[in-house]
Amino acid sequence: MAEAKTFTNNLLTLELRENNNSINIRWTGKSVDREPAKFITPILVDAIRKSSDHDKRVTLDFRELTYMNSSTITPIIKTLERAKRGKTRVTVTYLKSLKWQDVIFSALEIFRTKDGRVEIKGS
């Protein structure tokens, strides 16, 4: 059974949908806060914990995000680094046709694992 939660802070909304196999976090709006990690990190940490406990793939879907400041990149890459070192399965999806997304998220290929556990997908 799918469970949905919506978290909003200023101009950013994270919509979390969880089912038996996966946890999908859809990012919409803009992330422009001075300290965005205060809002984002607990949500990501909780998702990763659930992913580990129940063997679910976490998808971070950025395709509808219109802007994020560099402070927003920090909690994302820390999550990916921890996923890479651990056993969590994480997928990052972004819009390849949007140049800023392509530039930023394609650089996250450095976190990709050979076994596909951590994957970065431009669509």
Q: What is the binding site for another protein (CB under 8 A)? A: 11, 30, 32-35, 37-38, 41, 45, 67, 69-71, 73-75, 77-78, 80-81, 98-100, 103-104, 107-108, 110-111
| Least distance in angstroms from the C-beta of 20 to another protein | 28
8 Å CB contact between 11 and 43? no
| Least distance in angstroms from the C-beta of 68 to another protein | 9
Name the phi and psi angles at 80, rounded to 5. Answer: -65, -40
Considering the complex, state which of residue 17 and residue 50 has its C-beta at the smaller distance from another protein.
50
Considering the complex, state which of residue 31 and residue 93 has its C-beta at the smaller distance from another protein.
31
| Least distance in angstroms from the C-beta of 54 to another protein | 21
Other Cβ atoms less than 10 A from the Cβ of 42: the count is 12
| Least distance in angstroms from the C-beta of 101 to another protein | 9
8 Å CB contact between 59 and 79? no
Considering the complex, state which of residue 15 and residue 102 has its C-beta at the smaller distance from another protein.
102
d(CA 77, CA 121): 15
d(CA 35, CA 63): 22
Integer angstrom CA distances of residue 60 from 43, 72 = 11, 13
Considering the complex, state which of residue 13 and residue 32 has its C-beta at the smaller distance from another protein.
32
